[in-house]
Structure 1
């Protein structure tokens, strides 16, 4: 009897301790939720403050440009007013002379009876005045300073080019993080041809005679970079022009290389992040979750950029032609080295033979 009572007491004590432990854990989780909410509020506050500072800078630039435009247009208006005044003066001068000539013509009949020599002298004087007036009022003598105006337009164009070279500022920032990406032929699916310098991947129907390596993808048309990174920020771009099907993104080295499961595909497992383009539609993928991007449907970009911030836990995809944001993943913390990855896609009914080519991300895409 005593043993049963003792066992019950012990069991009750254990349950009580377990209850206390769970209550502490619950309190810890609740505290963590508060910390996370505070962190979110802190990040939101800092981001909004930065947005306000940048917005103020742009407003200041706009005020400077608006004032410069006002000054330039005012100067041109002033010159135009002076030219218009000169033309009006010349027209008035001609008008007064025509009135005099009308009066002269009206008096000719009366003058006919006067001395012929006097008439000739008068006519000669009138002819001289007419000649001088025509010379003075020649429209070709009224000019604007074409050279100065051409310089003004040239300076304006140069200013525009300077400003455009700084906009968008995101592009300039990403370009400063440009990475040299070389594709690793030893990881490429046997139906991919990797260029000798590792800057392009091309799909072919022919199975290439390549050595079998543990790192090679054997069911998905993937290839990853030779070098990975695990600190700082990196940005790279891929030329996707004339492609109807492609995937590209980032992956941990742990991504499965063999097997039929979809986890071998980019973005289908926890190991990778990607954006996929297929026949005009864009989809972002991570951990098997797809994110439809309907606002981008039908849009085509020459280049796609991928920005990754290790400190910020960000993977962002950009239409590099116009720096159009496609999708951004926030992972919080990366747990392994990241590698660049591309999938060329199959031939897609004969429409997708073009190569995927790594670009020099430190330079803007050419304007077509």
Structure 2
């Protein structure tokens, strides 16, 4: 005969309680391990943040020192060059001063002779018979002429000059130096261009009023609605087109030619950007899926998540660079000629692959008819 019912019930209750307690303890231990793992990761992230900040500071200080050294060398060379030029200038000016003094002295002597002759002439008018007494011998006139000719020959202005050959050589060398510096600057140009990634536009995403070139390197607005297949990925309201290629890691750079255009938008987008309907998220930069810079009516605006950032530029740029860095979570728009940053988005971590995205805009009565062109386009048949 087994234990009574109440005993069995108590034992069962104790077992359940023990099981629950053991389960809760295991769960508590699991949560503790998870918390410790997250705390450890947080500590590693903070350490990494400190390391990157320190490393960036060291790099910036090193770059500053190099620029200071370059500036010091150029300043010293400029001082030396100007010193030589100034010494030569002082010497030639001094030589001309000496010549001018000789001519001034001669003028004084001539004027003194002229004054004496004036006195003689006045006396001759009063006593004509005495004129012969004051006549100058002919040889004195010849001596005066010879003296003047001698001074004139020894004070020829053309005999004094700067070393024009040296001046030309200095100008040539400085011009060569300038060309060399220009070929190496901006320094970031060479580096950023090394991140160039070829892309071509995907015609199957283009709005029906966009004509995509055969090479996939340009998009042009047309007022004619083209009879194209209504694919799921095609924009049907906004004048957008995105690249065939998508990028998930690394650093990438593209240059887009917007010469002659009065309206355009360009940027990057996740493939999840809405393509259909009139929702604002279909516009580049208006939703959380895309980032862009817009040029409209002479003003530049950076967009993301419906938030506009007015940019302080009025110049109409001809080429815009787009630099995307997955490791840094950074998206930077640049004026491509000088590599001057226009605006940067610190996106943190990109959660999906990115496509280059373009909008050439309406033609605005012909004022915006030119295409928007990718300068480092790939062949449409190139591998993704």
TM over 0.5: yes
Q: Post-superposition shift, 1:24? A: 2.8
Distance 1:132 1:358, change over 3 A: same
Equivalent in the alignment of 2:258: 240
Which of 21, 28, 36 lines up with 2:30 in the alignment?
A: 21
- Could you tell me which of 339, 351, 355 is aligned with 1:323? 339
Q: 1:350 to 1:15 in 2, by over 3 A?
A: farther
The 5 Å alignment of 1:1-368 reads 2=10, 3-105=12-114, 108=117, 119-230=137-248, 232-268=250-286, 271-286=289-304, 288=305, 290=307, 292-296=308-312, 298-331=314-347, 337-347=353-363, 352-359=368-375
Aligned in 2, Cα 1:310/1:132: closer, same or farther, shift over 3 Å? same
Aligned length: 358
Task: Give 1:304 shift.
Answer: 1.0
Larger radius of gyration: 2
- Deviation for aligned residue 1:192: 0.4
| 1:259-286 deviation line (CA, Å, top 9, x unaligned) | 4444444345555433233334444344
Whether the 8 Å contact between 1:237 and 1:359 is mirrored in structure 2 is: yes
Q: How many Å apart are 1:102 and its aligned residue?
A: 4.0
Q: Secondary structure of 1:134's match?
A: helix
Aligned residues of 1:281 and 1:293 also touching (Cα < 8 A): no
Indicate how the Cα distance of structure 1 residues 283 and 11 shifts in structure 2: closer, same or farther if over 3 A, else same.
farther
Q: TM-score, normalised by structure 2?
A: 0.80
Distance 1:278 1:31, change over 3 A: farther
- Structure 2 gaps of 5+ residues are 1-8, 121-129, 378-384
Tell whether the 8 Å contact from 1:218 to 1:258 is kept in structure 2 after alignment: yes
1:254 to partner: Cα distance: 4.6
Q: Deviations over 1:273-316 (max 9, x none)?
A: 33233334444344x353x4334254532211011234444322
Listed as ranges, the gaps of 5+ residues in structure 1 are: 362-368
* RMSD (Å) for aligned C-alpha atoms: 3.1
What is the rounded CA distance, in whole Å, between the counterparts of 2:351 and 2:32 in structure 1?
31
Distance 2:241 2:45 in 1: 37
Residue 63 to residue 94, structure 1, CA distance change in 2 (3 Å): same
Q: How high is the TM-score relative to the length of structure 1?
A: 0.84
SS at match of 2:78: helix
Cα deviation digits, residues 229-273 of structure 1 (max 9, x gap): 455433211122343432212234454433444444434555543
Asked whether the equivalents of residues 275 and 285 of structure 1 are also in contact (C-alpha less than 8 Å), the reply is yes
Shift of residue 186, structure 1, vs aligned partner: 2.6
> Which moved further from structure 2: 80-89 or 202-211?
202-211
C-alpha distance 350-8 of structure 1, shift in aligned 2 (>3 A): farther
- Report the Cα distance in structure 2 between the residues aligned to 1:36 and 1:259, rounded to whole angstroms: 42
State the shift of 1:10 in Å: 3.4
3-state SS, counterpart of residue 94 of structure 1: helix
In the TM superposition, residue 54 of structure 1 has moved relative to its aligned partner by: 1.0
